[in-house]
Amino acid sequence: MEPLAAFLMVADFTLAVVFVALFHWLYRTDKIPLSYLYAFWIGTLIGSTWEFTFLFLGPEFLHGAVEWPWGLDGWPRKVSHSIWDGAIFMFGVYLCHRWLDGDLFQGFDRKELGIMSGWGIFQELLVEYLFNGRVWIYEPLSWNPVIIPTVPGSAPLSPGYTLIPQAVWVIAPVVFYTCFLWLVKRFPDSEK
């Protein structure tokens, strides 16, 4: 395994552990309410729906650009990426707190959803630019066509941006936002 691939593998799992520890620490130190901790885990669960679907679709759809040793290529990678997805969703929540004033997440707000959706789409484009062809490869298929060709600086193995990963991050923030609003209402006493 090349040094860059080894670094990316170690960083992938290390940061997943850091995210879990971080959100539990934030809750235990009263930095976030219980609803936010649960939201991190709901985001992880939402992320697992596509991460494991992609795994079950097999290498004809998605495969590693480099084979990871010790069986880490399959479900361990998907668990790690699901945790990353939970953290990505929660960064959208952070951006709402950073950029919007007033009481947040009290009901549907198009600004909140806009920030979370914009963040979701932006980070997906960035992640695919950085890692598609370096860590994984989405194969172009009739039902997963290339919608944006490779751009300068893309990995040599990158086929470009395919439809399904982009569509996921158009839909997923809406699902997460809906669940998040429910959690905030369901655990109102947990606000700190």
**Each residue's pLDDT tens digit, 77-98:** 899 999 999 999 999 999 999 9
Into how many domains does the chain fold? 1
For residue 141, being part of any structural domain is answered with yes
pTM of the model: 0.93
For residue 107, being part of any structural domain is answered with no
Residue 190 has pLDDT above 70, yes or no: no
Residue 189 has pLDDT above 70, yes or no: no
For residue 14, being part of any structural domain is answered with yes
- What average pLDDT does the structure give for the chain? 93
For 4-24, what is the mean pLDDT? 92
Higher pLDDT, 140 or 65: 140
For residue 167, being part of any structural domain is answered with yes
For residue 43, being part of any structural domain is answered with yes
Domain that includes residue 146, residue range: 3-102+112-190
**Contact predicate 178/109, CB 8 Å:** no
